[in-house]
A and B are shown apart, each in its own frame.
Chain A
Amino acid sequence: GNSVTQMEGPVTLSEEAFLTINCTYTATGYPSLFWYVQYPGEGLQLLLKATKADDKGSNKGFEATYRKETTSFHLEKGSVQVSDSAVYFCALKAAGNKLTFGGGTRVLVKP
């Protein structure tokens, strides 16, 4: 079946540091890949997506590139802010259309 593995947190960073959250997947066919972010007490917000190999999704300074050869979709941001503190979820959507999520990575940015 389909699965998503992402690095466990928490990841603690100082403001303006570089953030990377690793995400790898297993899927049949060619899935679409997503990053969602969840702030405390809220639902999930779509951060970015990529629908085919070598696509780069980007939003709010975050980027992730769909790497089919390594089945990865790592999330990066060059300079994090305190407001980026949240839980980040990597997800895929393949045939069958349901989203399969990773376990989430909590990020804490300290001033």
Chain B
Amino acid sequence: KAGVTQTPRYLIKTRGQQVTLSCSPISGHRSVSWYQQTPGQGLQFLFEYFSETQRNKGNFPGRFSGRQFSNSRSEMNVSTLELGDSALYLCASSLSSGEGYGYTFGSGTRLTVV
């Protein structure tokens, strides 16, 4: 059974550019969440999608956006990149969005903004 696949694994972008990250969840999983991991702030929740609808959103500026497609694949977009956006971006999928369901995480996309 394939796990959560995130592409690309590494990205280097310049300030002011935009970037799109992709996440393919485990087959059958309908809930996809995104997290940002940095040494200073730790793991912070970005947003959650379930059946193409955004169910929850963290405290990030509007430059961070996402979407989910009918096949449950998800993309995350960051516009007007800032140096502080350098981080490991983790995608996680779950069979359902209920409280008892754990998430399976991908290996992440490491974004470096220069």
Q: Verify if B65 is at the interface (C-beta below 8 Å from A).
A: no
Q: For residue A36, which residue of chain B has the nearest CB?
A: B105
**How many B residues touch A, CB cutoff 8 Å?**
26
- In the complex, the answer to whether B102 meets A49 with C-beta atoms within 8 Å is yes
Given A99-B33, A101-B42, A104-B42, do A46 and B104 touch, yes or no (CB 8 Å)?
yes
- In the complex, the answer to whether B107 meets A43 with C-beta atoms within 8 Å is yes
Collect the chain B residues with CB atoms within 8 Å of residue A98's CB. Answer: 33, 45, 48, 56, 58
- In angstroms, how far is the closest chain A Cβ from the Cβ of B14? 24
Q: Verify if A94 is at the interface (C-beta below 8 Å from B).
A: yes
Interface residues of A in 67-102 (CB under 8 A from B): 89, 93-102
Interface residues of B in 22-45 (CB under 8 A from A): 31, 33, 35, 42-43, 45
Collect the chain A residues with CB atoms within 8 Å of residue B104's CB. Answer: 46
Given A94-B99, A97-B56, do A89 and B48 touch, yes or no (CB 8 Å)?
no
Q: Verify if B66 is at the interface (C-beta below 8 Å from A).
A: no
- In the complex, the answer to whether A97 meets B107 with C-beta atoms within 8 Å is no
Q: Verify if B90 is at the interface (C-beta below 8 Å from A).
A: yes
